[in-house]
Amino acid sequence: MNVEAVKAIYLFEMARTRRTLLQSVVSPVISTSLYFIVFGAAVGSRIQEIDGVSYGAFITPGLIMLTLLTQCIGNGSFGIYFPKFTGTIYEILSSPISMTEIVLGYVGAAATKGMLVGLIILATASLFVDLSIAHPFVMLVFFVLTAVTFSLFGFLIGIWAKDFEQLNLIPMLVIPPLVFLGGSFYSVSMLPPFWQAVSHANPVLYLISGFRWSFFEISEVSPLVSFGIIIGFLAVLMGVLVWIFRTGYRLRN
Amino acid sequence: MAPIVSVSNLVKTYGSGFQALKGVSLDIAEGEILALLGPNGAGKTTLISIICGIVNPSSGTVLVNGHDVVKDFRATRSIIGLVPQELTTDQFETVWNTVSFSRGLHGKKANPAHIEKVLRDLSLWDKKDNMLRELSGGMKRRVLIAKALSHEPRILFLDEPTAGVDVNLRKDMWKVVQALREDGVTIILTTHYIEEAEEIADRVGVINGGEILLIEEKSALMKTLGRKQLRIELAEPVTALPPGLEPYQLKLEDGGGRLIYDYDASGGRTGITTLLAAVAESGLRIKDISTRQSTLEDIFVELVEKRA
Ligand SMILES: Nc1ncnc2c1ncn2[C@@H]1O[C@H](COP(=O)(O)OP(=O)(O)OP(=O)(O)O)[C@@H](O)[C@H]1O
Ligand SMILES: [Mg+2]
């Protein structure tokens, strides 16, 4: 295990965050505050409670997930895409590092950044609403698992992408609708049966549901199912990763 | 002594179906300076990229210090430093950070004293806190060299190190190369400039179209393939060669004012003595005589043309 190299990549990536502190921290805080003002105040005045939880509190886990998903995918994909784009990837590829170590460095940094922003959102949210976390440990498990899984997802996108358009395709075009339609801002049980069924095909629903359960013990589906879904997704990504290691796909070809 | 780098039957077919290397075999001895000469698209960068682990080979093997570059990549890559052909840098990093990063990637503990020495040797010390985007092209090239030397490699690859580099930097670079060589570092460089290979290499390899055409000691190469030219300046120009000089296949140059005689310097009989006697006999008056050794450039052009 080349610990020095993992450390070098991790710290290098974290240093990049420090340089773009404003963009990476301040902007999610502002947008979350806006969500609270717009959804919390406007919608919240009509829907007071969902399943006995105040509307503002109800949307908090979904907001954290929205941020976590977009941040982790964004960081994970950019971290590996950028050296590919500038050409500095030559150095990573010619160093005595295994693919596993490369993934540890990049995905570790992306997940750390995502989680930092997620925690900031949590802190911001607690300024607006009363929050209690019923199962802090479960909450942490969902939080970390999601961060790691989606950073890895981002990493794979970064390897696959040939240009900036492809790079942004999934984080910009696929993730937001999934999050918005995944019951971030409402309970899916409020929808007509047909749309309920459609919503259950959305994997993000399971993430939000499980995460929300750890806060309020209310959920659309059993938290175990949520756990199973995220582990399943992680397993699929790992499979793809192993295939990339074997073939050198878009890295060593 | 076992070679430090041993390439055998290396083939690379890119995804596009293009065969960039067609079965290359080559041994590199520890401590030598090998220059790889070849025109654009010859496969020089591809060869280096496979040895360094950037590109997967299609078939064939490469051993570095006895280890396979694919199976045993940690052992091989940790002793190799690479200066790539393209100027690729992290624009927003400082010189110091980017060079330290390279050392970390190679699994070495931080060593500020070594990094300082490398930066000083390359006249980069006063730029250590500058961001790379603030540097000129030549300075960026030095940074790439510094990165490659950050982890004290035993083998250094320089892929066209002098492209777009001024005379001063070139001199600095050769000084660094000489110092490394004295430390026993093996150096492989690619170049289009034949003078460069002639100046610093111990051995020269010529590669074209994905094949090694020749690889030889520079001095032996010059000797075996080295043709010499005898130039005879005449006091009065002639319009045609006198009949007595026909057997020598002379060329007339400079409006008949100069006779050119090509001969093989390595052969026992150069034919100079009889030629000069024949010239005197034919009544021509000699003003001056000089000889010229053919350069690697001539050899190179000849080789590539022979294959074409
Ligand atoms: N990634 C790639 N995909 C497809 N073909 C490639 C790729 N990289 C290089 N080639 C082709 O392989 C051949 C050898 O390229 P290479 O870069 O090794 O040449 P070179 O000798 O370094 O040339 P130069 O002196 O111009 O740097 C060229 O014909 C090039 O077009
Ligand atoms: Mg090249």
Cα angle vertex B139, ends B45, B40, to 5°? 25
Helix (H, G, I), strand (E, B) or coil at B206: strand
Euclidean distance between the first and the last CA atom of chain A, given in angstroms as a whole number: 25
Q: Give the pLDDT of residue B168.
A: 81
Q: Give the pLDDT of residue B224.
A: 62
Q: How many CA atoms lie within 13 A of B127 on its CB side?
A: 23
pLDDT at B297 over 90: no
Q: Give the pLDDT of residue B307.
A: 65
Q: Give the pLDDT of residue A130.
A: 82
**CA pair distance A213, A226, nearest whole angstrom:** 10
Could you list the residue range(s) of the whole structural domain that residue A44 is in?
Answer: 3-247
pLDDT in tens, A114-146: 999 999 889 888 888 888 888 999 999 999 999
- The ipTM (two decimal places) reads 0.82
The H-assigned helical ranges of chain B are: 44-52, 73-77, 95-105, 112-121, 137-149, 167-182, 194-200, 218-225, 272-281, 296-307
Q: Give the pLDDT of residue B146.
A: 94
Q: Give the pLDDT of residue B137.
A: 85
Q: What percent of chain B has pLDDT over 90?
A: 45
Contacts of B54 in chain A (CB under 8 A): 90, 93-94, 252
pLDDT in tens, A75-86: 999 999 999 888
Of the pLDDT bands very low, low, confident and very high (cuts 50, 70, 90), residue B120 is: very high
Q: Give the pLDDT of residue B267.
A: 67
Of ligand 1's listed atoms, the one at least distance from the Cα of B44 is 21
Q: Count of domains in chain A? A: 1
Distance from CA of A244 to the nearest CA of B (A): 13
Q: Give the pLDDT of residue A189.
A: 81
Contacts of A98 in chain B (CB under 8 A): 73-74
Of the pLDDT bands very low, low, confident and very high (cuts 50, 70, 90), residue B308 is: low
**Closest C-alpha to A34, from A46, A23, A24, A26:** A26
> How crowded is residue B88: how many other Cβ atoms within 10 Å of its Cβ?
16
What's the rounded mean pLDDT across residues B277-303? 80
Q: Give the pLDDT of residue A202.
A: 87
Is there an atom of ligand 1 within 6 Å of B36 CB?
no
What's the rounded mean pLDDT across residues B60-66? 95
Q: Give the pLDDT of residue B303.
A: 72
User: Which whole-number Å values give the CA distances from A187 to A31, A210, B216, in the listed order?
Assistant: 22, 13, 77
Q: What is the mean pLDDT of chain B?
A: 88
- Locate the chain A residue with the closest alpha carbon to B46: A253
Please name each of the domains of chain B with its CATH number: 5-223 (3.40.50.300), 227-294 (3.30.70)
Q: Judge whether A253 lies within some domain.
A: no
Q: Which of B88, B92, B105 lies closest to A95 in CB terms?
A: B105
pLDDT in tens, B251-274: 888 888 898 888 877 667 788 888
pLDDT at B295 over 80: no
Are B78 and A96 in contact by the 8 Å Cβ rule? The answer is: yes
In the chain, the amino acid numbered A89 is I
- B12, B19, B36, B44: which to mutate for ligand 1, most atoms within 8 A of CB? B44
Q: Judge whether A252 lies within some domain.
A: no
Distance B45 CA to ligand 2 centre (A): 4
Q: Give the pLDDT of residue B12.
A: 95
What's the rounded mean pLDDT across residues B148-166? 89
pTM: 0.82
Contacts of B74 in chain A (CB under 8 A): 2, 96, 98
Are A182 and A226 in contact by the 8 Å Cβ rule? The answer is: no
User: Within chain A, which residues score under 70 in pLDDT?
Assistant: 44, 253
Q: Judge whether A181 lies within some domain.
A: yes
- Interface list for chain B against chain A, based on CB atoms closer than 8 Å: 14-15, 52-56, 73-78, 80, 82, 84, 86, 88-92, 97, 101-109, 147
pLDDT in tens, B169-199: 888 888 889 999 999 999 999 987 777 787 8
pLDDT in tens, B76-117: 999 999 999 988 878 888 999 999 999 999 999 889 999 999
Q: Give the pLDDT of residue A86.
A: 87
- B10, B22, B46: which to mutate for ligand 1, most atoms within 8 A of CB? B46
Q: Give the pLDDT of residue B225.
A: 60
**Atom 6 in ligand 1: residue holding the nearest Cα:** B14
Are A14 and A112 in contact by the 8 Å Cβ rule? The answer is: yes
